[in-house]
Amino acid sequence: MLVVEKYGGSSVATIEKIKDIAAHLAERKKQGDQIVVVASAMGKTTNQLIEESKQVSGKVHPRELDALLALGEGKTVPLLAMAVQDLGVDAISLTGIQIGLKATSRHQRAQIKHIDATRIKRHLDEGKIVVVAGFQGTNDEGDVVTLGRGGSDTSAVALAAILQCPCEIYTDVNGLYSVDPRKYPDAKKLDTASYDLVMEMANQGSKVMEPRSVEIAKKYNVHLYIGQSLYPKPKYGTIVMDNQLALEDKVISGISINENVSMITVRNIPSGGDTTCRIFNLINQYEINVDMINQSIGINNNLVLSFSCNKDDVHLVDKMVKENPGIFAPLTVDKQNDLVKLSLVGVGMASHFGVAARVFNALDKVNVHFYHITTSEITISVTIDAAKLGDAVPVLAAEFNL
């Protein structure tokens, strides 16, 4: 069978681990499978490269940064291909350019437009294991672009979609858990999960899979497996499947924790004018990624607007406020960085009543205050003080048997 195997940064963090993966690949090849491997940068290499770029320059250099970041994955794949070859199995490493991965031009957040599988197929037919650098491609200019943090997942799933084969995502935990097992060790592993559940959990901060990769998997019906790399048998992680087949009868299946949240509150907005509209036009112009939004009537009938964004985008908020005194000078802008967003996700929620009451009562029992609340058909999110995370998660997990 043909398969795409993807190994994340921690799985290829050391030469020893690369050799262990090579041994597994050689063995699997000998058993008759055709394998495309997508590998990430070793360990924390991507973070280190970002850090080094900051040491060189305080400015943003999107094009050059992508050229730099691509080197992380660029280093892993030849090492892995060499290690496989040394075991007597033919292998070839390919970069994003070499597999013809064409993407949009937006540096650090490019989206895949097209992959030309011709070369990969040729090497597979030659009996080689094809080792592909994840996370990278080129734009129409021919410049290197990267696909956003965690983007090797996206490369892997997109390749599986093109090659019409299953995709196995190997990482440092044995599948998708009800809660990040590093933050809540009693979390339960999900044997199966629907695309929608995994996508929503990923979107809400469970970074085990990059959200867009799950979107592609759903769209192209890619058979997806998430598991621990080189885990001794039985190695059953999580099988991700069609919504109908996943049988998620629980009201809530998981809790996602997003610590990368800042809440911005703008007060004194005159009611009846177009200030809110103008603020959101600016938010759009400054490319600030906004998540929760709330507007209410404050004292003197003025409006209070609050919205959440990634902590990494707060400098853009500061820039926007500073550069637009015409709008912001009469307003008060506050920032809260000490919050986390907890999202309870469950496909079964759509057909159940009373979930919100259970969430709020559980939090109340352990004196956890919640500030902002948003809901969708399958999610209830609340922001709480970061310091209260350790109280909130166990009580919610107990309430919903997670």
Q: Which residues lie near ligand ADP (CB under 6 A)?
A: 8-11, 40, 150, 171-173, 176-177, 179-182, 201, 206-208, 254
Shortest distance, position 155 Cβ to ligand ASP, whole Å? 8
Q: Measured between alpha carbons, how far is 194 from 346 in angstroms, rounded to an integer?
A: 10
> What residue 383 binds from ligand ADP, Mg ion, ligand ASP, none (CB within 5 to 8 A, per partner kind)?
none
CA-to-CA distance for 95 and 271, rounded, in angstroms?
Answer: 54
Q: What is the largest CA-CA distance in the chain?
A: 78
Q: In angstroms, rounded to a whole number, what is the distance separating the alpha carbons of residues 206 and 178?
A: 10
**First and final C-alpha spacing in the chain:** 35
Q: Confirm if 210 and 188 have CB atoms less than 8 A apart.
A: no
The CB density around residue 15, as the number of other CB atoms within 10 Å, is 11
Smallest gap from Cβ 177 to Mg ion, in A, equals 15
Give the one entry of Mg ion, ligand ASP, ligand ADP, none that residue 112 binds, where binding means its C-beta sits below a cut-off of 5 to 8 angstroms depending on kind.
Answer: none
For the bound state, the minimum distance from the C-beta of residue 92 to ligand ADP, rounded and expressed in Å, comes to 23
**Which one of ligand ADP, ligand ASP, Mg ion, none interacts with residue 96, CB within 5 to 8 A by kind?**
none
Q: Please report how close the Cβ of residue 246 comes to ligand ASP at its closest, in angstroms.
A: 25
Kindly state whether residue 175 participates in binding Mg ion, applying the rule CB under 5 A.
no
Nearer to ligand ASP, 53 or 336 (CB): 53
- 3 state SS of 313: helix
Residue 64 or 172 having the CB closest to ligand ADP: 172
Amino acid at residue number 250: K
Residue 173 touches which member of ligand ADP, Mg ion, ligand ASP, none, C-beta under 5-8 Å by kind: ligand ADP
DSSP reduced 3-state for 276? helix
DSSP 311: G
Give min distance, CB of 256 to ligand ADP, in A: 7
C-alpha torsion angle, residues 278, 304, 358, 241 (rounded to 10):
10
211 in contact with Mg ion (CB under 5 A): no
> Residue numbers of the site for ligand ASP (CB under 6 A)?
8-9, 40-41, 46, 72, 134-135, 149-153
Q: How many angstroms separate the CA atoms of 315 and 305, rounded? A: 19
The answer to whether 226 touches 208, Cβ cutoff 8 Å, is yes
- Options 96, 137, 150, 211; binder of Mg ion; rule CB under 5 A: 150
Dist. CA 199–CA 205, nearest whole Å: 10
Residue 11 or 93: the one with the smaller Cβ distance to ligand ADP is 11
237 binds, among ligand ASP, ligand ADP, Mg ion, none (CB under 5 to 8 A by kind): none
Token duo for residue 234: 């039985």
- Minimum distance, C-beta of residue 151 to ligand ASP, in the bound complex (Å): 5
Q: Which residue is nearest to ligand ASP (CB)?
A: 152
Q: State the nearest-atom distance from the C-beta of 251 to ligand ASP, in Å.
A: 32
Report the interhelical angle of 118-125 vs 152-163 (nearest 10°): 70
Query: Rule CB under 5 A: which of 8-67 touch Mg ion?
Result: 8
Nearer to ligand ASP by C-beta: 154 or 275?
154
